[in-house]
Chains A and B, each alone.
Chain A
Amino acid sequence: MTEQPHAALTRLIDGFGAQGYVLERDLATVLFLLTRLGKPLLIEGHAGVGKTEASHALAKVLDTELIRLQCYEGLDVNTAVYEWNYQKQLLAIKLQEGSDRDLEQKEAHVFSREFMLERPLLRSITARDKAPVLLIDEIDRADEEFEAFLLELLSAYQITIPELGTVRAEHKPHVILTSNRTRELSDALKRRCLYHWIDYPDSQVERRIVTRRMPDIEAALADQVVAFMQYLRGTKLTKIPGVAETLDWSAALQALGAQTLDEEILDATLGCILKTTEDMSQIRQEGITQLLAKAGAAN
């Protein structure tokens, strides 16, 4: 249990590396504290910088289950915590019609654990063997009411179900929340969490990510791809491409058998990087040839 932090960090970084995730030291430290202190971690950052991916990798490294809750506007407790299995309940009620149980017993029967559908939040605190990783993705999209509910869960790690009583976590889950910062989260929630901001990687780190994920990629091509992406992020686009786009694009280039980046192949694969028509037409207007030259020169 009392592994020295240095050893623990190295273990985390290596473990993430084996999953193809280039873990930087700052995030490694924070993840170490997350597991050690049992405090939830709020990760913010632009789209496609590896927020979600980090929790997948953490689950693998800890050799535990990953439970994911995708947030959206209107997410309610029934979808997030638990729901009764109505069909099964109806059937059970029919089946016990002839039995001599009294009403209360019948009711207790249909509202027992057997008839419950566990949704992510409940599942995360009922894990038997070891603490799972609970990923609450894009919390900024959920309503404020849900945020308040979450607050309650994250402080006590227990959920009260009117028909059943209170369920308390045997193993506190490792909680990671992600946010794209489309709105400010409540202070109360932020106070409960560790915080980490993931920025776009610099070219060295991004280069390492590409090689880690795609070991067979031509070195020259990888250099060009990274230089181009780094350049694009400095330009005015409505949707700035993240690392996810870099990887998609590299994979596409590789699949097409490209050795180096040229005009033709860039034009054909532009859709891997730019995700809106405005951006596409803007880049095409600027001229792909000039763009390639600029990106090369910028590097």
Chain B
Amino acid sequence: MSDPSIAYGPYTHAVFGFCRFLRENGMNPGTGLALEALAVARTGVLTDRRAWFHGLRALFCGNREDFDRFPGLFDAWWTGNREIEREKTTPKPKPDQWQKLRAMYLGGESDRPAEEEGSETTGASAVDYAMTIDLAKIPSHQMEEMEALAMRLARRLSLRLSRRFKQARRGGRLDMRRTIRKSIARGGDPLELCRRGKRPRRPRLVFFLDCSGSMDRYSLFFLRFIYILRQHYPRVDAFLFSTRLTRISNALARADMEEAMTAVSESASGWSGGTCIGLCLQTFIAVHGRDMLSRGTRVIILSDGLDTGEPGMLGDQLAAVKRRARSLIWLNPLTGGDAYKPEARGMREALPYLDHFLPGHNLESLCALESLLAG
């Protein structure tokens, strides 16, 4: 790679220029990669335009998005048509899918009037404010900021969660390696047995998110929370429900968050008003109960409990879930209002079966969830 006689071939300049060009367009090739690009050139592919393109694409791209975007950038640089193309490819602010999805969730956000609780706050109290503000009352101009905060929080929580589960261990299988090493000193008699830490049993978390109209805003934050949780802790399943149940675990299993959110919205198309929690839980037990419900499973339901299904059904189904799961947690954003009493029929029916009943209206309640999940 460091043969000086060829390191300054006529193409060197162009290659370094290309790296700069990529950087200007939002990709991130380090200097090391430029040198490697020269190495690629020296294999002889430089004379074959297609091979040169494929080679550089493999070298400079690290994910599918770059991979798909690269042809335009390559053509722009190597055909010399830079100025025109550059305008076309200047970094997009953000793929607008997410915006669209958000708009779908939140309704027309741009013309939402600034709400009374969303007055400007500065300094240290800003954090308190952000942690305690009702998620449904965030003014649109702070939405982005709050989303970022929620994600940071989720990342921290999920890391801590997965670590916590990992460390829950007590004596288990024999550790032969250490046993043998110790036994040498005693002429080969394994007197002292060393044990390997037991493989921790990682509990499964199953989330149910209410996506009926009144709950969209809260579900949105939870979706992101679950997405990030899943990145660090794979035993997570998630469902959306309204009048019917949709499993979104597969949709969430994408490396790219926006892609995942789009997939979720696609798989949940045709959401309609009304909430039949009981019916949805029944479907869940029938289809997934066998593989998802076990002594270690924690079931978390996020809903306002405004059930429109048959009376009695919700209670019966919750009892069935409760029998087969480790714990049942219900987050109800309405509880955030001080005056709230769980008087909706659905909520009253549910209460006897719940292990924990919490507010779920702000980021603080997300934090409270952590200790419950790990417990």
Chain A residues within 8 Å of B, Cβ to Cβ: 2, 4-6, 9, 25-26, 29-30, 32-33, 36-37, 39, 41-42, 44, 73-74, 83-84, 86, 89-90, 93-94, 97, 103, 106-107, 110, 140, 181-185, 187, 190-191, 193-197, 236, 238-239
Tell whether, in the assembled complex, residue B63 and residue A6 are in contact, meaning their CB atoms are under 8 Å apart. Answer: no
Least CB distance from A164 to B in Å reads 13
Among the stretches B18-26, B47-55, B212-220, the one at the interface with A is B47-55
Chain B, residue nearest A195 (CB): B61
8 other contacts beyond A90-B190, A190-B62, A238-B267, with CB at 8 A cut-off?
A5-B45, A29-B50, A93-B180, A181-B64, A184-B256, A190-B63, A195-B63, A236-B267
Q: How far is the CA of A181 from the CA of B68 in the complex (A)?
A: 15
Count of CB-CB pairs between chains A and B under 8 Å: 117
The answer to the question of B40 belonging to the interface, with a C-beta cut-off of 8 Å to chain A, is yes
Bits for B346-367, please: 1 = Cβ < 8 Å to A, else 0: 0000000000000000000000
Q: Which residues B18-70 have CB closer than 8 A to chain A?
A: 30, 32-33, 36, 39-40, 43-45, 47-48, 50-51, 54-55, 57-59, 61-64, 67-68
Specify which chain B residues have a CB less than 8 angstroms from the CB of A30 in the assembled complex.
Answer: 54-55, 58
Q: Quick one: given A93-B188, A195-B61, are A33 and B231 in contact (CB under 8 Å)? A: no
Tell whether, in the assembled complex, residue B62 and residue A191 are in contact, meaning their CB atoms are under 8 Å apart. Answer: yes
The answer to the question of B132 belonging to the interface, with a C-beta cut-off of 8 Å to chain A, is no
Chain A, residue nearest B51 (CB): A29
Tell whether, in the assembled complex, residue A37 and residue B184 are in contact, meaning their CB atoms are under 8 Å apart. Answer: no
Tell whether, in the assembled complex, residue A86 and residue B176 are in contact, meaning their CB atoms are under 8 Å apart. Answer: yes
Specify which chain A residues have a CB less than 8 angstroms from the CB of B187 in the assembled complex.
Answer: 93, 97
Tell whether, in the assembled complex, residue A26 and residue B62 are in contact, meaning their CB atoms are under 8 Å apart. Answer: no
Bits for B253-276, please: 1 = Cβ < 8 Å to A, else 0: 111100000000011000000000
The answer to the question of B185 belonging to the interface, with a C-beta cut-off of 8 Å to chain A, is yes
Query: Can you list 18 A-B contacts (CB < 8 A)?
Result: A5-B48, A9-B51, A29-B54, A29-B55, A29-B58, A30-B54, A73-B234, A74-B199, A84-B177, A86-B176, A93-B183, A93-B184, A94-B188, A103-B184, A110-B180, A181-B64, A191-B32, A195-B57
Specify which chain A residues have a CB less than 8 angstroms from the CB of B33 in the assembled complex.
Answer: 191
Set B54, B64, B188: member contacting A44, Cβ < 8 A: B64
Q: Quick one: given A32-B43, A37-B39, are A25 and B50 in contact (CB under 8 Å)? A: yes
Q: How far is the CA of A278 from the CA of B349 in the complex (A)?
A: 31
Q: How far is the CA of A90 from the CA of B183 in the complex (A)?
A: 9
Tell whether, in the assembled complex, residue B44 and residue A4 are in contact, meaning their CB atoms are under 8 Å apart. Answer: yes
Q: Quick one: given A182-B255, A183-B255, are A33 and B55 in contact (CB under 8 Å)? A: yes
Chain B, residue nearest A106 (CB): B184
Tell whether, in the assembled complex, residue B266 and residue A33 are in contact, meaning their CB atoms are under 8 Å apart. Answer: no
Set A5, A86, A193: member contacting B51, Cβ < 8 A: A5
Tell whether, in the assembled complex, residue B54 and residue A26 are in contact, meaning their CB atoms are under 8 Å apart. Answer: yes
Bits for B169-203, please: 1 = Cβ < 8 Å to A, else 0: 00000001100100111011010000000010000
Least CB distance from B238 to A in Å reads 14
Q: How far is the CA of A193 from the CA of B63 in the complex (A)?
A: 11
Set B176, B185, B254: member contacting A103, Cβ < 8 A: B185
Q: How far is the CA of A6 from the CA of B48 in the complex (A)?
A: 8
Q: How far is the CA of A147 from the CA of B245 in the complex (A)?
A: 36
Q: How far is the CA of A239 from the CA of B247 in the complex (A)?
A: 13
Among A9, A41, A83, residue most surrounded by chain B Cβ atoms (within 10 Å): A9
Specify which chain B residues have a CB less than 8 angstroms from the CB of A86 in the assembled complex.
Answer: 176-177, 180
Tell whether, in the assembled complex, residue A195 and residue B255 are in contact, meaning their CB atoms are under 8 Å apart. Answer: no
Tell whether, in the assembled complex, residue B36 and residue A39 are in contact, meaning their CB atoms are under 8 Å apart. Answer: yes
Specify which chain A residues have a CB less than 8 angstroms from the CB of B188 in the assembled complex.
Answer: 90, 93-94, 97
Q: How far is the CA of A44 from the CA of B58 in the complex (A)?
A: 12
Specify which chain A residues have a CB less than 8 angstroms from the CB of B185 in the assembled complex.
Answer: 103
Specify which chain B residues have a CB less than 8 angstroms from the CB of A29 in the assembled complex.
Answer: 45, 50-51, 54-55, 58
Least CB distance from B181 to A in Å reads 8
Tell whether, in the assembled complex, residue A195 and residue B67 are in contact, meaning their CB atoms are under 8 Å apart. Answer: yes
Q: How far is the CA of A93 from the CA of B68 in the complex (A)?
A: 60
Q: Quick one: given A30-B55, A30-B58, A184-B231, are A37 and B180 in contact (CB under 8 Å)? A: no
Least CB distance from B179 to A in Å reads 8
Tell whether, in the assembled complex, residue B51 and residue A187 are in contact, meaning their CB atoms are under 8 Å apart. Answer: no
Tell whether, in the assembled complex, residue A236 and residue B266 are in contact, meaning their CB atoms are under 8 Å apart. Answer: yes
Among A83, A90, A103, residue most surrounded by chain B Cβ atoms (within 10 Å): A90
Specify which chain B residues have a CB less than 8 angstroms from the CB of A25 in the assembled complex.
Answer: 50-51, 54
Specify which chain A residues have a CB less than 8 angstroms from the CB of B43 in the assembled complex.
Answer: 5, 32-33, 36-37
The answer to the question of B121 belonging to the interface, with a C-beta cut-off of 8 Å to chain A, is no
Specify which chain B residues have a CB less than 8 angstroms from the CB of A37 in the assembled complex.
Answer: 36, 39-40, 43
Specify which chain A residues have a CB less than 8 angstroms from the CB of B230 in the assembled complex.
Answer: 183
Specify which chain B residues have a CB less than 8 angstroms from the CB of A184 in the assembled complex.
Answer: 63, 231, 255-256
